[in-house]
Structure 1
Amino acid sequence: MSKISNLDYAALNLSGENYLQWALDTKINLRSNELGDTIIKGNNETDKNRYRAISIIHHHLIEGLKDQYLTMENPLDLWTALQRRYDHHKTMLLPKARHEWKNLRFMDYKSVDEYNSILFKIVSMMRLCGEEVTEKELLDKTFSTFHSTNVLLQQHEMRPIGTSALPEANEAEKKDPKECNHVHDNNKSHGKGHSRFKGRGRDSYGQQGNHNNRGRGSIRGRRNYGRG
C-alpha cells in the first residue's frame, strides 16, 4: 500500500508508543472540524459526520494498523477499540514522568530556555497520562531548585517588567551589611565630634597645632641653650 501523505499530525504507530499524543491530536482535529461528538458515547451524529470522522481516524493510522481495523465504519467503535488496545501505556509512561519531575532541578541546566523545554515536556506527558499539575506546582518546583547564588538573578529575570522586586530581592539588593554599618558608625562619630567640639573646633585644631609648634620650639631652644 502507498505511504501515508498529507498528514495533519503523526500517524499512530503499530506499537502504540505515541498513542497518547495521537489521541490528543485526533480529538483536536475532530473538534476543529465539528466532529468531536462522533467519538462520544450516545451521540446522535449523522452518518455523513460519522464517515467524515472515520476517514480522519483511518488516515492517521500507520498502514499495518489501518488494515486491522479496515472494516470498522463507526468512529466511536474504532476509537474505543484503539483506546482499549493502547491506553495501558499510561501505566508505563506516568511513573517515568513522575520520576523525571521529582529529580528535575533548575541548577542542572545552563539556561532558562533549556530548563523550561525539559520542564514542559515532562509536565505535558504527566497531563497526557491524567496527572494534574497546577501552575503553583510549576512555580514551586522552579524556585525550590534554584542554586542559592542564582536566586536573585532569576527573580529579576522571571518577574514581569514594571513590577516591584520581591522582598527577598530588595533585601539582597541592599549594600553589604558591613559597608552599611561602617557608614553608620562614621556618621555617629562625626555627630559626636561635632557636638563635643561645637563652637571651638577650629580653636582646638589651632591649639593642637600651636602646641606642636611650641614643642618643637622648646626642643630647638634647649638644643641652642646647650650649645651656648
Structure 2
Amino acid sequence: MSNDGGASYGPYEPTSFGLQPPQQPGVPGQSGPSAAAHPDNPYAQPQPQPQPQSQPQPTQVVPNQSPEPEPGAGRLVANRYRLLAKLGHGGMGTVWRAKDETVDREVAVKEPRVPDHLPERERANAFERMRREARAAARLDHPAVVNVHDVAVEDGQPWIVMELVQGRSLGAALQEGTLGAREAARIGLDVLNALDAAHQAGILHRDVKPDNVMLGRHDRVVLTD
C-alpha cells in the first residue's frame, strides 16, 4: 500500500502534480550533453557558446637607455687629460676624475672657478695666483698632502692635476656618525702636520674643512684642495 492513492509509477515517470523526479546523470532528457537532443525538455540547460580567445598582445621591448653623460665629460684638457666624471664641486671649482692619456693613469683634475662678474683683468690675476699656488704645492713632499702632478693651462685658465686618492672624505664619514676619540686625534694630527708643512713652504690653504680631508687606503689621511 502506498500513500499515492494506490497508483504505481516508475522511478522516472512524472507525478500527478507535474513534478519531475531528481535528475540522474546519463539519463536522456536531462541537462548535460544528452539534453541538447531534446529541445522540448524545459529542464535542459542551454549549452554555453565557446567564446573566442583573445590573442595575446606582443610584448613591447624597450631598449636599455644609457644615462646622459655629464656636461663636460669626455673633454680633453691640454691634449692630455680626458675628463670622465665629476667627483665634487664647491665655491672654488669642480673636481673631475680624469685619465692621463700620456701615462695611462687616473688622476683628479680641478677646474677652478672665479666669479663671472669679475673684470677680465681681475680674472686673469686670480688665475695667475692659482697657478703660483699650485706650483708651490707641487714642491711639497709630505704623505698627508695631496700630490700635485701638473698645472695645465687652457684658454688662460689653470687646470690643477693631482693624484686621485682612493677613499672617502672626512665629511662623508661624519655623516654616518661621530668618530672615536683615538681616531679623531689621529686624523687631526695628520691634518695639523700637513698644514705645518704647507706653512713652512709659504702656502696658505684657505679652505680647511672635512670635505677637503680624504681618508685613503692604509689609514692614510690626505689634505686636498
TM-score, normalization by structure 2:
0.22
Q: Which gives a bigger RCO, structure 1 or 2 (Cα 8 Å, sep 6+)?
A: 1
- TM-score w.r.t. the length of structure 1 is 0.22
Larger helix percent: 1
Point out the structure with max Rg over C-alpha.
2
